[in-house]
Amino acid sequence: YKPYHLSHHIPVHRQNMTTPALLPLSGRRIPTLSPGASSFPHHRATLRLSEKFILLLILSAFITLCFGAFFFLPDNSKHKRFDFGLEDVLIPHIDSEKEARHSSRQVIHGVGDHDEHRHREEEESLRDKIRADHERALQEAKEKLRKSKEELKAEIQTEKTKVVEDLKKKDGPKPLPPVPMPKLVGVKDGDPGDPDTKEKRDKIREMMKHAWDSYRQYGWGHNELKPIAKKGHSTNIFGNSQMGATIVDALDTLYIMGLHDEFKDGQEWIKQNLDFSVNAEVSVFEVNIRFIGGLLAAYYLSGQEVFKVKAVQLAEKLLPAFNTPTGIPWAMVNLKSGVGRNWGWASAGSSILAEFGTLHMEFVHLTYLTGNPAYYQKVMHIRKLLAKMDRPNGLYPNYLNPRTGRWGQHHTSVGGLGDSFYEYLLKAWLMSDKTDTEARKTYDDAIEAIERHLIRKSNGGLTFIGEWKNGHLERKMGHLTCFAGGMFALGADGSPDDKAGHYLQLGAEIAHTCHESYDRTVLKLGPEAFKFDSGLEAVAVRQNEKYYILRPEVIETYWYMWRFTHDPKYRQWGWEAAQAIDKYCRVSGGFSGVKDVYSSNPTYDDVQQSFFLAETLKYLYLLFSSDELLPLENWVFNTEAHPLPVLHLGNITLPGSETQR
């Protein structure tokens, strides 16, 4: 291309003489030598032009040949090693490359003898180094050959593990931003002082050890344990996962009880095995309260980062559940695909109030710990949406369709399907150091409607909380509803119109009713649901409501009532329940639920629920400890009894909160 461009810069007068040879390149026709051509100079010029053209062709052919030879002919230096010894095999091309460099230096710079000597020395030392490396490699190879097969296998395994570890480190989660640790008060022994109480507390600790050791032996890594069959167990709330639900749920109880070896064992399992990239469809609610709640509590109590990191990894997996037209999450989500759906049995494809309404505590802590506003925004969105909706009689129905944003069946319950929604309104306020007054107001309004429409006194004088179903009150109370005694007591302080005394009294009445439901059975353990109808009070009627599955709610209420009143009857009632559990639910492989609390010869359901270790045994232990252990001014227990510290947010603004925006 160069000649063509140059031609444009040649002065016109010179172009006449010199440019013809370049004409073909500039696209003009070559003048030809025709017979009878009269102009001699022109003739000669034409001949010269043809010669030049041919020369040019030859030259370009030659260049093409050289170009081809340079790239396509084999590199001789590579074959050189075959002519030399082992050293040359290990140091291919070194000679030829260095020779080339050396000679080019001589040609270009005219390097003298001195330099040449220095280069030879350099080459020599390089050669020595390579020789030494070679010797060492040979030596190592010889040593390897001397080792046994097992030793070699072990070495390979160690190296493999190291590579995997390094990879994990490289691809692992980014460290979370450091945040000020909330003030942790009362992470101490809580020795009750008097020997009798201490003995009872030791017994509860022993029960915990039996439950844990049995799970450790027969169900390790599975979600739960079958204590009769002595093998692992799981339910549909965990999909087909094996995520060690019992380990995660039990951790903080182990810690509080001072079972540190067991705690470390659980921590190690979590570190090595707890993986959420599993193709399992899990309950968003259950995974939140048991896993995220359990991991966060373990983190706050022990300060071990691994728990925080795992909690955040899991929370990320739950977020796709919120991708619904309304932002009300699906009940279930597949941890791998992120696809969500609702329970088939729920009214009109609805999500459940107690499920989407029981995320607030954990999600606010997640935002606090990560600086990621997404969690906080998701739960605040739910709250805002609910605030805008009409409520029949001021009550919240249990079902809400996440596609349409409309209520399903008008059923209201403070037990199953509704319970912890109310609990979390109160606890959101407590957890915010009582600054989240919107939550408190929502709680107060809801409780007022519940009192008006659902709470009644039986003919025998027992206060009970019934269920609202399509415009009428069903006079039935579930074991689950018994938690409300503790909730009323916890919410007494700060209630409107100075009704603290009233709510503490209401808590005491519910505790009493629930104790009656235990006391009126043969086993002194409470049934799943009990009626207040036609002369029957606090007893189960239907066979399928007579079971006890190691639930905590009644003991939970005893503990709250104990903390607020120190009335010894609560410790007494708790001890009755503990003895009954030990007598009727304990088996050699752990603890099992029973199918009929009215039968002196009950059959077992063969499940040791993870909440038995997380809640039932923890509340019992706290009941026989001093109030210094996890004081309620500083800790708020999530609905699975996992203690989370109060966030003193007076001078901290959560990312994504109103004030920041």
Residues that bind ligand DMJ (CB under 6 A): 420, 480, 551-552, 611, 615, 639-640
Least distance between ligand DMJ and beta carbon 226 (Å): 18
Please report, as a single letter, which amino acid is at residue 454: L
List 249, 286, 355, 436, catalytic entry: 286
Q: Which is nearer to ligand DMJ, 417 or 629 (CB)?
A: 417
Least distance between ligand DMJ and beta carbon 303 (Å): 26
Least distance between ligand DMJ and beta carbon 215 (Å): 17
Q: Which is nearer to ligand DMJ, 419 or 606 (CB)?
A: 419
Q: Which is nearer to ligand DMJ, 468 or 483 (CB)?
A: 483
Q: Residue 539: phi, psi to the nearest 5? A: -130, 150
Q: What string of H, E and C letters represents the secondary structure of 7-42?
A: HCCCCHHHHHHHHHHHHHHHCCCCCCCCCCCCCHHH
CA distance 277 to 478: 36
List 444, 553, 596, 615, catalytic entry: 553
List 355, 444, 516, 528, catalytic entry: 528
Q: Which is nearer to ligand DMJ, 411 or 551 (CB)?
A: 551
Pairing between β-strand 399-400 and β-strand 411-412 as defined by DSSP bridges: unpaired
CA distance 138 to 506: 84
Q: Which is nearer to ligand DMJ, 447 or 649 (CB)?
A: 447
Alpha-carbon separation of residue 159 from 152, 164, 271, 321, 369 (angstroms): 11, 9, 20, 40, 35
Q: Which is nearer to ligand DMJ, 262 or 640 (CB)?
A: 640
Render 399-440 in DSSP notation, one character per residue: EE-TTT--B-S-EE-SSTTTHHHHHHHHHHHHHTTT--HHHH
User: What are the residue ranges of helices labelled H in 522-567?
Assistant: 553-565
Least distance between ligand DMJ and beta carbon 232 (Å): 19
Nearest-5° Cα angle at 232, 231 to 235: 135
Reading the block at residue 252, the tokens are: 């903080």
Least distance between ligand DMJ and beta carbon 413 (Å): 12
Least distance between ligand DMJ and beta carbon 461 (Å): 27
Cβ-based burial of 536 (10 A; exposed 0-12, middle 13-18, buried ≥19): middle
Least distance between ligand DMJ and beta carbon 438 (Å): 23
Q: Which is nearer to ligand DMJ, 516 or 615 (CB)?
A: 615
Tell me: is residue 639 an annotated ligand-binding position.
yes
Q: Does residue 286 have an active-site annotation?
A: yes
Cβ atoms of residues 400 and 382 within 8 Å: no
Residue 302 three-state SS: helix
Alpha-carbon separation of residue 195 from 85, 198, 200, 201 (angstroms): 86, 5, 9, 10
Cβ atoms of residues 278 and 231 within 8 Å: no
Q: Which is nearer to ligand DMJ, 367 or 420 (CB)?
A: 420
List 419, 423, 537, 605, catalytic entry: 419
Any idea which residue has 């073909």 for tokens? 24
Q: Which is nearer to ligand DMJ, 447 or 554 (CB)?
A: 554
Reading the block at residue 233, the tokens are: 């167990």
Reading the block at residue 153, the tokens are: 């296998």
CB burial of 587-612 (b: ≥16 within 10 Å; e: otherwise) equals bebbbbbbbbbeeeebebbbbbbbbb
At a CB cut-off of 8 Å and minimum separation 6, what does 269 contact? 220, 221, 244, 247
Cβ atoms of residues 234 and 242 within 8 Å: yes
Q: Does residue 528 have an active-site annotation?
A: yes
Q: Which is nearer to ligand DMJ, 324 or 639 (CB)?
A: 639
Alpha-carbon separation of residue 642 from 197, 275, 572 (angstroms): 23, 21, 24
The sign one gets for the Cα dihedral 268, 272, 276, 278 is negative
Alpha-carbon separation of residue 182 from 178, 179, 225, 632 (angstroms): 12, 9, 35, 15
Q: Which is nearer to ligand DMJ, 386 or 480 (CB)?
A: 480
CA distance 315 to 321: 10
Least distance between ligand DMJ and beta carbon 425 (Å): 14
Least distance between ligand DMJ and beta carbon 480 (Å): 6
The sign one gets for the Cα dihedral 578, 579, 585, 587 is positive
Cβ-based burial of 341 (10 A; exposed 0-12, middle 13-18, buried ≥19): middle
**Cα atoms in the Cβ-side hemisphere of radius 13 Å centred on 661:** 5
- Nearest residue to the partner ligand DMJ, using Cβ: 639
Any idea which residue has 């005694």 for tokens? 485
What residue numbers does the annotated binding site cover? 639
Residues labelled as active-site residues: 286, 419, 528, 553
